[in-house]
Homo-oligomer: A and B are copies of this chain.
Amino acid sequence: MAKPKKTPRPKAQAPKGFRDYFGAEVTHRAEMLSKIAAVYQRYGFDALESSGVETVEALGKFLPDVDRPNEGVFAWQEDAEGDKPGDWLALRYDLTAPLARVYAQHRNDLPMPYRRYAMGPVWRNEKPGPGRFRQFYQCDADTVGAPSVAADAEICAMLADCLEEVGIARGDYVVRVNNRKVLNGVLEVAGLAGDDKDAERGIVLRAIDKLDRLGPEGVRALLGEGRKDDSGDFTKGAGLADAQADVVMGFMQAKRDSGAKTVARLRELVAGSDVGVQGVDELELISDLLAAGGYGPDRVEIDPSVVRGLGYYTGPVFEAELTFEIKDEKGRARNFGSVAGGGRYDDLVKRFTGQEVPATGVSIGVDRLLAALAAKGRLAGEATGPVVVTVMDRDRMADYQAMVAELRQAGIRAEVYLGNPKNFGNQMKYADKRQSPVVVIEGGDEQDRGVVQIKDMVLGAQMAQDASHDEWKERKNQYEVKRGDLVQAVRDILDRTS
């Protein structure tokens, strides 16, 4: 065989913007996804798993008027077959575009309405930044083909159940609901409904979407003449008259101390607009349906200040917010904020079939939820480290294997040390690194006497931290047990420390 050309060693490095997840990072997420899947199932949603790869055509990610994919996706062209140029393929950037493709492809075999959930990685070809990765998980549930807002109400209830299932206590979250149609009504009342008002409506929508960042005064400025930011840059506003701007501001600030009062206030604001009244009716119906299922305002509430997504969705919009405070990097208390969001969008498969099919859905930000639980100390720490059986005599490996086999049979996580056993200190260092709760030691002397040494690593660590001298003498973190009592002795320690 010819010797290959000598090439420099490759860099052992994940690509920029991608990362590795280890141990508990993986298992905590898997547990969370499995709990959420169980709730989705209970609501009648069926699992769907499509592949990570779609045609760029199906994703709708060709740039307009150009046969080149959008930069935001990872895309490549398949090899040509004869004269036929290869298809452009891409990694999915969310789970909604594949749902549209799947539904259009399989619609004759799927139940109607179709409730489906999907969980998995998605990819974004974006500049990575701190905490911003180019692959991350999404966890979605959508109902396709149900025009009634009963479908939206059901998703709000399901979202609340999911949060409680993964460990967010009632009272620590709220699902807030708004409706794009109410905004449309408000715009109509403010005299911004006509085709000739496209530009103004665009500015108003963008201004509303900036409420979180600019606050009411900033939005108000953008509704009027415009706004000068801190750097002195001026953004031109929509040029609304005061009375018009008042209506829009009134919408965002319409929340009252009960759902009924909020609904009444919204009715005043949209009086005279059919679509606005329809939107308020929908909000009221959602609220009634939820109340009938036992989902009161302690879990789901109507809140016109939910503005995120109002530009994208066509009807009800919802967002789950965690209401407890956490400390940020600088120790300041701040609200944790949004962990899930969704709403109704009515053009899911129109690109494929020409037919308008109503759909509504939610996406849960699993990584944000995990961060929230970690901040609250509600994640079980690292997955339990294994019991480590040390190797005192490398010729007696079979005896050590028998010990770990017994422990595993009893459901206890256990391993035998597989590195070079010569240096016992290295074995103990290894056990430390593995966060091992118990170390088992059996040398020739112990074997002769039919015993093993048990070392309680948790107690050892505690004592190293805070035991007095007397305690050191009294409480032993290492002791002998009969070989036949190995499993029971280990279990006793695990039961005490778990």
Contacts and interface: CB of A to CB of B under 8 A. Distances in A.
A10 B53 contact: no
B37 A21 contact: no
Given A9-B352, A52-B121, A289 B401 contact: yes
A53 B26 contact: no
Contact of A12 (B34, B49, B101, B408): B101
Contacts of A16: 87
A404 B151 CA distance: 13
Contacts of A123: 52-53
Interface string A392-414: 00100111011011001101111
Task: Classify chain A's interface size.
Answer: 35 or more
Q: Considering residues A16, A145, A401, which has the most beta carbons from chain B within 10 angstroms of its beta carbon?
A: A401
A19 interface: yes
B293 A402 contact: yes
A185 to B, nearest CB: 22
A399 B462 CA distance: 56
Given A42-B414, A408-B43, A26 B11 contact: no
Given A52-B52, A115-B415, A398 B146 contact: no
B13 A55 contact: yes
A54 B413 CA distance: 32
Nearest to A2: B64
Interface in A355-372: none
A398 B288 contact: yes
Interface in A17-45: 18-23, 25-27, 30, 34, 37, 41-44
Secondary structure call for the A interface: mixed
B22 A47 contact: yes
Interface string A55-85: 1011010001100000100111001000000
Q: Considering residues A37, A285, A397, which has the most beta carbons from chain B within 10 angstroms of its beta carbon?
A: A397
B101 A41 contact: no
A51 B14 contact: yes
Contact of A143 (B49, B55, B418): B418
Given A4-B64, A14-B50, A418-B143, A386 B294 contact: no
Contacts of A87: 15-16
B9 A23 contact: no
A467 interface: no
Interface stretch (A106-114, A310-318, A325-333, A469-477): A106-114
A105 interface: yes
Interface string A251-264: 00000000000000
A111 B289 CA distance: 54
A193 interface: no
B30 A37 contact: yes
A215 to B, nearest CB: 29
Contacts of A321: none
A187 interface: no
Given A11-B57, A41-B383, A58-B13, A50 B157 contact: no
A402 B291 CA distance: 9
Interface string A109-132: 001110100000101000000000
A12 B415 contact: no
A380 interface: no
A247 interface: no
A150 B416 contact: yes
A44 B384 CA distance: 10
A153 interface: yes
A188 interface: no
A23 B46 contact: yes
Contacts of A415: 43-44, 115, 154
Contacts of A153: 401
18 contacts: A9-B354, A12-B104, A12-B105, A23-B46, A26-B47, A27-B37, A51-B135, A75-B76, A111-B433, A143-B418, A145-B418, A146-B419, A147-B420, A150-B397, A150-B401, A154-B416, A290-B401, A294-B409
Given A22-B46, A42-B412, A147-B420, 12 more contacts: A10-B352, A12-B101, A20-B106, A43-B414, A44-B414, A113-B418, A145-B418, A161-B408, A288-B398, A289-B397, A292-B402, A294-B405
Considering the complex of A and B, which 7 residue pairs feature the smallest CB-CB distances, nearest first? A44-B415, A12-B104, A293-B405, A26-B47, A292-B398, A146-B418, A76-B76
